[in-house]
Chain A
Amino acid sequence: MSYERGLCNFCGTGCGHLLLVEDNRPRGVYPLPGHPLSRGRLCVRGWHIHELLQTPERITEPLVRDGNGFRQVSYQEALAFTAEKLRKFAGEEIAFLGSPRVSNEENYLFGKFARAVMKSNNLSLSSDAGLEESAEVLLAGCGWPAMTASLSGLREADFILVAGGDLTRQNPIIASEIHLARRAGAFVVTISPRKTQMAKLSRMHLRPEPGTAFYLLLGIARMMLDEGLVEREFVESRIENASEYMDYLLSLNIGEIFELTGVDSQEAATVARRLAEANSAYGFYTVGIQSLDRRTIAALFNLFLQAGKVGRNKGGICPVTGISNLLGSLDMGISPRFLPGYLPAEDESSWKKLEELWRTSLVPREGKSVASCLLDNPELKALVVVDHDEEIIRNTNRIKQLELVVYFGSYENAFSRLAHVIFPRTTYIEDDGTFTSSERRVQLSRKKVEPPAGVRPLRETLSSLAVLLGHNWKYPSPEEVMKEINRVIPWYSEITYRKLEDRAGIKWPVDELHPEGSDFLKLEELSGKLSFVVEHPGPSSELPDLTSGEKFHFKLVVGRSNYFWHQNSIMKRTFIPRREYNALLLLYPKGFVEVSEEDARALGLREKQQVKIISEKAEVTLAVRISPDILPGMLYIPYFFDEMIPEFLHRQVAGLEKSEEFFLPVNLEKVV
């Protein structure tokens, strides 16, 4: 029994921990003191990861569908069966669903398997909400796809803006750093319609009406102009389209904007002033489980750019990922839009480069995400999935029609039950691997226990399949995969296991210019100019208008990060987090709708009373939960009740946005 250094695998914070290992089993966990970000803290999830890691509910043998159940088979049989089937499909007939929870090495190989072996570019992540959008906005604006700042300097911040989901729930230790920064003197402002804990810990809470955060950010930007706080010289010399953007801001009707958002313009002016004055300013938003929409991300970026806070040695734009290796997965190219290293899939030159590096022919066809393949690609016949731990699976009926679903996973779950063949997979403590946290910190997690007899790493299984399909794949260790990543992804070119061995991670770019990694985006190293990112109206503007309309009296918001974590699929395998997160499921087994105290009083609603939520296309009956945390006129339902979500929401919102900005106009009626 002893403590071994490692890292937590739940959210994208990348906290360090000490795993207590005894008799090849993790028996406890303790926060790793001295970790540069988590500094000896863990959240409720992190404190119980050992419970998940020793759950008996593992997949330990390859399984092949047999009628309604599964039959245990040997690896050899499962591999032969799968290879035989895979051979039949052309690239566009197959799609690949990666996992943001597996290592960079595994994701890299999974992407390579899709593109180089199966010649498919239908490759995406399960929980990519907002991350791709965020990467595209940031790439367009400053040439970096991820956090331009570094969190280790947060406590010296003067100004911190937090928009999007509740960071205290999604990434508690980052929220803790923000809280401690506030106590050290930073001005913290939260933008959220909900009164989240993050909001309670902030100096100022701006509560825009659902769907109007974008306009609020524009309003703040305009205020900054009006008050003469924009560093014109900087803006015009460094930013390509500065004058067009300023003109656009000046063309806005500021009075209407603040009326629309419901936010006091004086408060917005304070934010504008505080931001402009700050020596070190950070702008946070969540991506992953819950996200802002694309144009809101762009507005936030533009605001910081205009204030001259991007590309400084202190502060910057901080997208925070909800799942451990979400950023790393995108770095590795698990996306139809990006090849490894963010080479745009739409450019032919990207494919040429990759063909040379992989020494194989590729099909430079633009792919689609798995979600859109399932929705509107009638040619789709097969799906390959890694550890999909969301409970609510959309388009289940379409998946059931597929000829082949291959599932690689550690735990049985809703998706594995849809598979034709299941391969067991090692957990992250049963093999070496690197994980990239929100702040681009690449950390090495060493193997700490032996996997259950016969369970192979994804790396081995994929290699065996590639060999059966005629490709000469040899990856004897994760370290060998990293050596290939070094050659393929420039920002990872100088990352070695030796470098990672004796430190708590290193932040990319790690290349010849930055052998020890990079804390901040440096303006002087930028190849192109900075530019404001002007987005075409995003999905939320497709709604008729930004009020709930005359016919409907409420805005229904769907939430993903409060009360539960990621639909509880992995939390179910722990004790305390399960108890804490599941409590609501026990109380409201068929779901609930949150109503503000004001509306409940006005309508005479009682706690747990049944009400009907009626929208244009569907209706659902739910129990009332009166909440002090939401605005009058707003209703809130959590996205984790399997029965209600597909029936009510998926039926009417085909491409349901995971964005916080999405709302549905509805009415509420008492059930008599």
Chain B
Amino acid sequence: MYWLEKNRVRELVEKLSREYAVFGPRYDEVSEEVIFDRLADPGQLNLQAPISYNPPKYILFPHYEEILKYTYDRKSKQVAIEKFSKIQPKALVGIRSCDLTGILCLDRFFLGQEFVDEFYLEHRKKLFLISSTCVRPFPQCFCVCTDSGPAAREGFDLDLTFTGEGYLVLAGSRKGQKLVDELKLEPAGKEASSLRKKIIGESISSFDKFALENKAWISRATNRLTTGFVKPEVWEYIGNQCFECGACSFVCPTCSCFNVEDVNRIPQTDRVRTWDSCSFEGYTKMAGDHNPRKPVEDRRNKRFFCKLSYSQSKKYLRPGCVGCGRCARVCPGDIGLPNVVTYIRREITGEEDR
């Protein structure tokens, strides 16, 4: 473990920005909220800021991404197909362990199955990841219930833990080690490891004090969901509150569904990949108006199944939910994942509706 002085963060970012487009948490001036954004200036980076409103998912799985283009030549009657490749190297500085876990889930979906997604792979290969331990949780958090925080265990190039005076730095890859060497970081000393553990321990024990928005009952809900014990009335209650906006999927660090469209920009046609969501009726619609998940509650049911059931966990090797709490904040209904867990709990405990 190494030691990074507080005032050397800027140097770190500047060094990265020679090779990478650097992204990190910054404050929006008007809303005073935190956005994970491209940093126009290293000074915008705020590692002490609360968890960003948006996850960094869009950086490697963009909202809207051209993947290939084709042109048809009338004379020769030939179609020329060309892959888009404008993917630039990017560094993500200060990502939270929940979001890093999200990226590891995306890896398993895009890279760990029969077909490897070339575009995602290219983004992924060019990524430099610096995670940052949450020294205290935020009101929306429940990563301790989903085994994804408050500190990263794997997947980072560098990991930072703030001690108050500076950062304890873990190198998680050769790329990371190289940067440590270039910055000539000093070893953090023998106590470093136990200090990091202590900081994480304190963070975990302060969930009761700070993470007040959500009290999830994840393991029990997982059991209920997997065994199909959630009653249809509960799903209907949840479904009635779904505005079918797709936001929960768009803000989820692990949601990976996408749509593919061709856009005619004469003379060439672009094939575009965009985000999609299982909350939309058109997502599962088949020819002839057949839809295995027509009622909205069936679609909601599907999403929570995907996030919490055992069978889905086999795909991600962990729960599909990383406990960031973002879906609860963007939901026009009141059915973010923590609330759904609450509704399922209510069914078990017999609590009354509000």
- The chain A residues found within 8 Å of chain B, CB to CB, are 1-3, 5, 16, 18, 20, 27-35, 40-44, 46-47, 50-51, 54-56, 168, 172-173, 175-176, 179-180, 183, 197, 200-201, 502-504, 575-576, 579-580, 583, 587
A572 to B68, CA, bound (A): 22
Instruction: With A41-B332, A583-B285 as known contacts, state yes or no: A31 contacts B63, CB within 8 Å.
Output: no
Q: Is the CB of B240 within 8 A of A27?
A: no
Q: Is the CB of B282 within 8 A of A583?
A: yes
Q: Choose one: A5, A42, A55; the contact of B247 (CB below 8 Å).
A: A42
Contacts of A20 in B (CB 8 A): 58, 63
Q: Is the CB of A587 within 8 A of B289?
A: yes
Contacts of A183 in B (CB 8 A): 334, 354
Q: Is the CB of B244 within 8 A of A576?
A: no
Contacts of A31 in B (CB 8 A): 53, 247, 330
A587 to B289, CA, bound (A): 7
Contacts of A197 in B (CB 8 A): 240, 243
- Please give me the 7 A-B residue pairs with the lowest Cβ-Cβ distance, nearest first: A34-B31, A28-B63, A176-B332, A33-B33, A579-B282, A33-B53, A2-B38
Give 29 CB contacts A-B under 8 Å. A2-B38, A18-B28, A18-B35, A33-B35, A33-B53, A34-B28, A34-B30, A34-B31, A40-B329, A41-B245, A42-B247, A43-B243, A44-B246, A46-B245, A55-B263, A56-B265, A168-B243, A172-B243, A172-B332, A175-B243, A176-B333, A179-B334, A197-B240, A201-B241, A504-B31, A576-B246, A576-B280, A579-B259, A580-B282
Most A Cβ at <10 Å: residue of B265, B332, B334: B332
Min Cβ gap B310→A in Å is 30
Contacts of A2 in B (CB 8 A): 37-38, 40
A47 to B28, CA, bound (A): 19
Which chain B residues in 225-259 approach chain A with CB under 8 Å? Answer: 240-241, 243-247, 250, 259
Min Cβ gap B332→A in Å is 3
B21 in contact (CB, < 8 A): yes
Contacts of A179 in B (CB 8 A): 241, 332-334
B331 in contact (CB, < 8 A): yes
Contacts of B330 in A (CB 8 A): 31, 40-42
Contacts of A201 in B (CB 8 A): 240-241
Q: A32-B31, A172-B245 are in contact. List 4 more A-B contacts (CB 8 A).
A: A5-B31, A41-B332, A179-B334, A576-B280
A43 to B285, CA, bound (A): 20
Name which residue of chain A comes closest to B266, CB basis.
A56
A576 to B21, CA, bound (A): 30
Min Cβ gap A477→B in Å is 22
B43 in contact (CB, < 8 A): no
Min Cβ gap A197→B in Å is 7
B274 in contact (CB, < 8 A): yes
B351 in contact (CB, < 8 A): no
Name which residue of chain B comes closest to A177, CB basis.
B332
Q: Is the CB of B276 within 8 A of A44?
A: no
Min Cβ gap B40→A in Å is 7
Q: Is the CB of A180 within 8 A of B62?
A: no
Q: Is the CB of A41 within 8 A of B28?
A: no
Q: Is the CB of A47 within 8 A of B250?
A: yes
Chain A contact residues: over half helix, strand or loop, or mixed? mixed
Instruction: With A183-B334, A575-B274 as known contacts, state yes or no: A583 contacts B245, CB within 8 Å.
Output: no
Which chain B residues in 264-303 approach chain A with CB under 8 Å? Answer: 264-266, 272, 274, 276-277, 280-282, 285, 289
Q: Choose one: B62, B245, B265, B282; the contact of A43 (CB below 8 Å).
A: B245
A29 to B334, CA, bound (A): 22
Contact with A along B330-345 (1 / 0, CB 8 A): 1111100000000000
Q: Is the CB of B334 within 8 A of A41?
A: no
A5 to B250, CA, bound (A): 18
- The chain B residues found within 8 Å of chain A, CB to CB, are 21, 28-33, 35, 37-38, 40, 53-54, 58, 62-64, 240-241, 243-247, 250, 259, 261, 263-266, 272, 274, 276-277, 280-282, 285, 289, 329-334, 354
A419 to B241, CA, bound (A): 44
Contacts of B30 in A (CB 8 A): 5, 34, 502-504
Contacts of A29 in B (CB 8 A): 63
Contacts of A51 in B (CB 8 A): 64, 274
Min Cβ gap A416→B in Å is 18
Name which residue of chain B comes closest to A38, CB basis.
B332
Q: Choose one: A18, A28, A175, A580; the contact of B332 (CB below 8 Å).
A: A175
Min Cβ gap B62→A in Å is 7
Min Cβ gap B30→A in Å is 6
Q: Is the CB of A41 within 8 A of B54?
A: no
Contacts of B285 in A (CB 8 A): 583
A55 to B322, CA, bound (A): 35
A35 to B32, CA, bound (A): 10
Q: Is the CB of A580 within 8 A of B280?
A: yes
Instruction: With A27-B63, A40-B329, A168-B243 as known contacts, state yes or no: A180 contacts B334, CB within 8 Å.
Output: yes
Most B Cβ at <10 Å: residue of A27, A28, A180, A503: A28
Contacts of A47 in B (CB 8 A): 245-247, 250
Q: Is the CB of B245 within 8 A of A44?
A: yes
A580 to B283, CA, bound (A): 8
A56 to B259, CA, bound (A): 19
Q: Is the CB of B289 within 8 A of A576?
A: no
Contacts of A580 in B (CB 8 A): 244, 280-282
Name which residue of chain A comes closest to B354, CB basis.
A183
Name which residue of chain B comes closest to A31, CB basis.
B330
Instruction: With A33-B53, A576-B274 as known contacts, state yes or no: A42 contacts B33, CB within 8 Å.
Output: no
A1 to B250, CA, bound (A): 18
Q: Is the CB of A41 within 8 A of B289?
A: no
Contacts of B263 in A (CB 8 A): 55-56
A50 to B64, CA, bound (A): 9
A1 to B354, CA, bound (A): 43
Name which residue of chain A comes closest to B288, CB basis.
A587
Min Cβ gap A379→B in Å is 42
Most A Cβ at <10 Å: residue of B31, B37, B40: B31
Most B Cβ at <10 Å: residue of A28, A30, A180: A30
Contacts of B264 in A (CB 8 A): 56
Contacts of A173 in B (CB 8 A): 332
Contacts of A587 in B (CB 8 A): 289
Most A Cβ at <10 Å: residue of B54, B272, B285: B54
Q: Is the CB of A28 within 8 A of B31?
A: no
Min Cβ gap A531→B in Å is 37
Q: Is the CB of A30 within 8 A of B54?
A: yes
Min Cβ gap B267→A in Å is 11
Q: Is the CB of A579 within 8 A of B332?
A: no
Q: Choose one: A28, A32, A46, A576; the contact of B62 (CB below 8 Å).
A: A28
Contacts of B37 in A (CB 8 A): 2-3
A35 to B30, CA, bound (A): 9
Q: Is the CB of A27 within 8 A of B62?
A: yes
Contacts of B333 in A (CB 8 A): 176, 179
A593 to B334, CA, bound (A): 33
Q: Choose one: B21, B259, B265, B274; the contact of A1 (CB below 8 Å).
A: B21
A20 to B354, CA, bound (A): 38
Q: Is the CB of B35 within 8 A of A3?
A: yes
A51 to B37, CA, bound (A): 20
Contacts of B289 in A (CB 8 A): 587
Min Cβ gap A162→B in Å is 15
Contacts of B272 in A (CB 8 A): 575
Instruction: With A47-B245, A176-B243, A200-B240 as known contacts, state yes or no: A583 contacts B31, CB within 8 Å.
Output: no
A44 to B333, CA, bound (A): 13
Q: Is the CB of A42 within 8 A of B281?
A: no
Contacts of B31 in A (CB 8 A): 5, 16, 32-35, 504
Min Cβ gap B342→A in Å is 12
Min Cβ gap B258→A in Å is 11
Name which residue of chain B comes closest to A172, CB basis.
B243
A503 to B264, CA, bound (A): 38
A538 to B349, CA, bound (A): 54
Name which residue of chain A comes closest to B287, CB basis.
A586
A2 to B331, CA, bound (A): 24
Q: Is the CB of B244 within 8 A of A28?
A: no
Q: Is the CB of B241 within 8 A of A5?
A: no
